[in-house]
Structure 1
């Protein structure tokens, strides 16, 4: 197995901001370079490398080894990642609108790119990351991370607002229509569009496409017979052509090809939870 990912839920106080924590092991056998496609999941990933062996990503049209502590911003198209060695990481998956609440950095500043998070946040984040790498257990890493994030929230004092509410409605309401959001949030369409793009980096409609397709991916990953028409309908699609167009736009391939080739794809569906409603 070339990759193994284990997910952990955050404490209750962090759930408005953090989707989950995860621990990942990639190219465990170090059997030459492995290339995989990552599908956008509508989240921002803060990656802490646990050793000195890192993956490689493209930036400014060239390949380079990623930094020790990086933030992968909001991607809207699939992108490639390469593993030349055994790479181990601990990661925080943020809801895209919530990175602003936690760190005061809008997701729009990180769209379609990754950055060295120690350069974005400075010495206090580097100190936290160094301590995290010294932890011997995942439980210890999670406890330290929760303590650090709660401290950031307390220091930034940025309250949840209508952008958080709009993103949450998109994620959790099956069949939501973007034009209905302003009335539900008592705000104008123009103001919602402007603030959503500023905080999240994309429009509410584009974000809805990503969350719907990720709910599709979640259902396709379940160990049960696959009926694409039923899956599409469950995730808010009432037109098969529209579903296939959105699926290819987000994943880069058709649903049937994805099902056949998903071992070469990293899809960590996040955010939409229609099945819980």
Structure 2
């Protein structure tokens, strides 16, 4: 499988983490893979074969190009055929200025671009399909998104500033964030749900969970208990409980599975966490 990332235009960098492509003529993954919660929303242009979401043991086809909403739990997929994808990975809250749809409404699911994004995104899909090279696709996407980047509203600005502070200060309480930003929890929660798609508590859980995955794969600690304390969990039972809520598996079971996608994104995960989600 070929996986590459591309930087967006500097004016788009506050909203978009990267563009990326993945190509594989043969099945690149095992039969079941895990899309873990990572705080991002993806706009995925699929020019290869369809893949499937696995729900309650049954496979439901994810047809064509689509949006993957922010994930509160891991989504199980089966992608065992030809892969040809060009995708936009938004930062937390970054999709809101382009879609203008409350992000919590499409959390934890797959949505066709026609359902959420409209006809102009279908036209973008056609132009990207016809492009002959990666740099052409990056240029086309930059121009398209820049033309749709309008003035940010107060809810967006507030949610991004407060989420940046929370992610950079995970040891601080949400009550402290409310005092700092002159608000109360219900208002903070409402703006997070609107712009980012999850509550402040859920976003911090996702960050802690991603840090734990990266730490487990790094093999820097002798035990999972040491991993738990290093990543800010109160104790091992807290670690196992939250990890299972987000992944559906215990930390030990998750490591045993050796999900291919999780291993592929390790460098991306390390980069994101090193810059506190790069907000």
Q: How high is the TM-score relative to the length of structure 2?
A: 0.83
Structure 2: give runs of 5+ residues left out of the alignment.
none
Structure 1 position 102 matched with structure 2 position 90: no
Native 8 Å contact 2:30 2:260 kept in 1: no
Given that 1:71 and 1:114 are in contact with CA atoms closer than 8 Å, whether structure 2 keeps it comes out as yes
**How far off its partner does 1:265 sit?**
5.5
- Aligned partners of 1:97 and 1:106 also within 8 Å: no
CA RMSD of aligned residues (A): 2.9
8 Å contact 1:103–1:152 — kept in the other structure? no
- Contact 2:51/2:63 (8 A) holds in 1: no
SS at match of 2:21: strand
Equivalent residue pairs, number: 271
Question: Which string of whole-angstrom CA distances, capped at 9 and with x for unpartnered residues, describes residues 66-114 of structure 1?
Answer: 2322001122112211124112211111124222122212211102221
SS in 2 for 1:161: helix
User: Secondary structure at the residue paired with 1:205?
Assistant: helix
Partners of 1:173 and 1:274 within 8 A in 2: no
Q: 2:23 aligns with which of 25, 33, 52?
A: 25
1:37 equivalent to 2:34? Answer: yes
Shift of 1:213: 0.6
1:34-78 residue CA offsets vs partner (Å, 9 max, x unmatched): 221221212111110123x12112589964432322001122112
One of 204, 207, 213 as aligned partner of 1:211: 207
Give the aligned partner of residue 8 of structure 1: 6
Tell me the equivalent position of 1:65: 61
Contact 1:247–1:254, Cα closer than 8 Å, also in 2: yes
For the 8 Å contact 1:170–1:208, the answer to whether it is kept is yes
Alignment of structure 1 residues 177-256 onto 2, 5 Å: 177-222=173-218, 225-227=220-222, 228-256=224-252
Q: Distance in 2 between matches of 1:197 and 1:271?
A: 25
- Alpha-carbon distance between aligned partners in 2 of 1:9 and 1:233, rounded to the nearest angstrom: 34
Deviates more, 1:28-37 or 1:213-222: 28-37
TM-superposed CA distance for 1:249, in Å, is 1.4
2:120 is the counterpart of 1:124 = yes
Where does 1:263-274 land on structure 2 (aligned, <5 Å)?
263=259, 266=262, 268=265, 273-274=272-273
Distance in structure 2 (CA, Å) of the matches to 1:141 and 1:78: 29
In structure 1, the residue corresponding to 2:259 is in which secondary structure?
Answer: helix
The answer on whether the counterparts of 1:19 and 1:271 sit within 8 Å (CA) in structure 2 is no
> What is the CA deviation profile of residues 185-233 of structure 1, one whole-angstrom value per residue up to 9, with x for unaligned ones?
22222211222223333321012101111122233344x5444445434
What secondary structure does 2:101 align onto? coil
Secondary structure of 1:112's counterpart equals coil
Which whole-Å CA distance do the structure 1 matches of 2:113 and 2:129 have between them?
15
The alignment partner of 1:118 has SS state of helix
Correspondent of 1:149 among 136, 145, 149: 145
